[in-house]
Every structure is written in structure tokens, then in C-alpha cells.
Structure 1
Amino acid sequence: MSIIDNLIAFTFAATLLTLTPGLDTTLILRTATVEGKQQAFRAALGINTGCLLWGAAVAFGLGALIAVSALAFNVLKYCGAAYLAWLGLNMLLRPRQSLSPVEAAVKPSHNWFLKGMTGNILNPKIGIFYVSFLPQFIPQGQPLVAWTFGLVSIHVAIGLLWSIILIAATQPLAGLLRREKVVAWMDRATGMIFVLFAARLAFSKR
């Protein structure tokens, strides 16, 4: 695949991932509904800052690991493929019927940026996902650190745009995203994409 093809494929996959309702979406919807748009936007900035920090950690660690060891590359590749396949099959076979609500006991706070960022930093699944997902979109011979940061930046830009849309249309989107059929369909669609990417990663070459 060419560089443009890789960027288009990643943007499509990252968009699908971002649109799939999850805890971040629920947090933004809850904050916008209960505490207003300004606080919700701060939470969104915190969430995406957490993604950037995870991207930085993955960029430097992953680049050094792959550069010095073909064995490490293959182990990482197959572990990543297995993880993506497991994640995708779970979404396909056991799609959610509703969103997990954000804990009702959470009290209003002026630190929603910090809360959003901390929530992402303390979620190791984001780091695992980046490690398993990003390498298949980095063209052979391209600088790993620069490309990892670039792909994470695309993901963050999509996340911020989606957050702005959610905040601007809180009420209608909140109702739509909580519908059982919508949640289940999004899980199944994302699961299928993850399984396809798992196969692609497993058969990819260094």
C-alpha cells in the first residue's frame, strides 16, 4: 500500500473506532447534559491528551524494540493480531445492548480536563491497542516515531471533532447512541473491521 492508502485506511478505521459508543462517549454526553458544554469540552480535551501521552510512550518504546529485534517484531505482530481478533470476535458475537453508564455518584467538578486525561492514562487497553493497531499502518522504511505520532494525532483530531459534534447535539445524539440496535450494530461493524485487520497484521511482513 502507498503512503496515501495507509493514511486513508487508518483514518477510516480510527473514525469507526471513535464513533463506536464507549466510556469516553458516555462521559462526554453525561458531562454535557449535567454540567454544560464547557465542562464537557474540557473532559474531551483531557481524554485526547491522554491519547497523545499514550502515543508518546508507544512511539519511543515500540520504535526501539522493532528496530533492534526481528523476534520482538514477530512476537508483537502475532500478539497484536491475536488481541485484535479476540476483541473483534467478542464484539461480533457478544455486542452490547446498551452503554455502561458513567457512575452516578460522580460529583460536579472544575477538573474535568484532569479527570478525562487521568481516566485514559490509567486505561492500559489504550496502550495495548496502539501497540497492536498502529504498526500495520506504518509503511516499510518510514520513521516509526514520526509516523506513530502522526497516526495518533489523526486519531486525536477525529476524537476532538466527534466530541464537538456530541457536545453540540447532546440531546438528540444521546438518545440515538443509547438505542439498543445502534449500539449492537456499531459493535458488530467494528468487530468485523478488527477481525480483518487482525488477519492483515498476522500475514504482514517486516
Structure 2
Amino acid sequence: MTVSSAIVSFAVVAGMLTVMPGLDTALVLRSAITLGRRRAFATALGILCGVLVWGVAAAVGASAVLTASRLLYDALRVAGAAYLAWMGIGMIRQTLKERGRPASADAAGDRAGAPTAEETWARSWARGLGTSLLNPKNGVFYMAMLPQFIPAGAPHLLMGVVLAIVHDLEGLVWFSALIFGTQLVRGWLNRGSVRRAIDAITGTVLVGFGIKLALGDS
């Protein structure tokens, strides 16, 4: 296997995984609908940074430790589950708090309580990064996949970074399509009742992912 054929083959596999519905897609869609394009791209960038970290870790063998150590895997799994549940419950609580408020009050509250652009971007980026890093299945995926796409004689670290960047580029294209597509109908989606429903659904999905991860379901 040559370097070019390895990259192309990995791109096909990673591309199929990228477009599969999952937690990353749910988070980016929620951000695009309720928080706007800027925060949605920040969330997506955080997720992609996490993917890059996992790719580098797998290339240098750190993920092998995660795979071999059941205790370490379980600790990361529980931490990830708690993080997802915390985010989901927070969204659901916010939905319940805002239920019954008139649309004018919602709009006024949004304007008064809006954080600065820098704070908004940083918070969204951190949410995406944390979600990616606290998912041990990302590490296991890279540990299982990367060795199959590193040609004999190729430097592992460099090849791992290249493959992770390929995965990130595919993710960026996919997330961009979702974000710009959502912006076309954001005026309707951002109505108070619709926004609360989206937060409630996304929060429930996050809690479900957290429970699934805590139970160790594949």
C-alpha cells in the first residue's frame, strides 16, 4: 500500500463515518439552529480539534494504553457519560425554565443576556472539544483503524496526523453543509417554541448518549 492509496482508502472509510447521524451532528445542528452560524462553526471546530488529538494519540500509541487498560477506559467512559448527561440536563432545564414565557420576553432576554462574541465562540469551541475528547470510542476507533492505513516504512506520527487532517477536512465540509443549510430556514427554526423543542430533543439525545456510554453499550 502506498501513501496516496492509504490516504484515499482512509478518506472513503472516514467519510462514511462522518455523515452517519450521531452526537457530533446533533451538537452542530443544535448550535446552528439556536445559537447561529458563528457558534455552530466554533462547536464544529472544537469537535475537529478533538479528532486531531485522538489521531495524534493513536499514532504515538497512547490509544493502545487506553485500549489495554480497562480501568482507564472505564474512567474516561464514566467521565464522558457524566459530561454528556450534564449538557443534556442543562438544555432540558433551560427549556423548562423558558416554557410559558411570551415571545417578546424571550427576544428581550436573548438580547440582554447575550455574551460577547469572544466568550460565545470560546464556550462553543470548548463544548465541541470536550465532547470529542471525552468519548473513548473515538480513541478505540483510531487505534483500530490507523494501523491498517499506515504503509510499511511510513513515519507513524506524521501519517497519523495526515489521516486525522483528512478526517477533519471531511468533517468540515459536512458540518459546513449542515450549518449553511440550516441558516436558510433559521428564521423559522429560531422561533421560541421551535427553539425550545430543539433544545429539549437535543438534551434528551445527549442524556441518552450519556446513559448508553455509561452502560458500556456499543
Normalising to structure 1: TM-score of the pair?
0.61
Shift of 1:55: 1.8
Shift of 1:4: 2.2
> Could you tell me which residue of structure 2 aligns to residue 24 of structure 1?
24
Q: As a proportion of its length, which structure holds more helix? A: 2
Report which stretch shifted further, 3-12 or 142-151: 3-12
> Could you tell me which residue of structure 2 aligns to residue 204 of structure 1?
none
Which of 113, 124, 139 is residue 112 of structure 1 equivalent to?
124
Shift of 1:104: 6.7
Shift of 1:164: 0.8
Distance 2:172 2:61 in 1: 26
Shift of 1:158: 0.9
Do 2:59 and 2:146's aligned partners in 1 also have CA atoms closer than 8 Å? Answer: no
Structure 1 residues 104 and 36, CA gap change in structure 2 (3 angstroms): farther
Do 2:50 and 2:132's aligned partners in 1 also have CA atoms closer than 8 Å? Answer: yes
Which of 165, 171, 176 is residue 159 of structure 1 equivalent to?
171
Identity value in percent: 38
Shift of 1:56: 2.2
> Could you tell me which residue of structure 2 aligns to residue 197 of structure 1?
none
Distance 2:3 2:50 in 1: 27
CA RMSD of aligned residues (A): 3.0
> Could you tell me which residue of structure 1 aligns to residue 206 of structure 2?
none
Normalising to structure 2: TM-score of the pair?
0.57
Number of aligned positions between the proteins: 141
Report which stretch shifted further, 108-117 or 155-164: 108-117
> Could you tell me which residue of structure 2 aligns to residue 14 of structure 1?
14
Do 2:58 and 2:146's aligned partners in 1 also have CA atoms closer than 8 Å? Answer: no
Distance 1:62 1:33 in 2: 36
Shift of 1:35: 1.0
**Mapping of residues 36-55 of structure 1, within 5 Å:** 36-55=36-55
Q: Deviations over 1:12-62 (max 9, x none)?
A: 111111011110001111111111111111000111111112222222226
Q: Which blocks of at least 5 consecutive residues in structure 2 are unaligned? A: 69-86, 95-113, 186-218
Distance 1:104 1:19 in 2: 26
Greater Cα radius of gyration, structure 1 or 2: 2
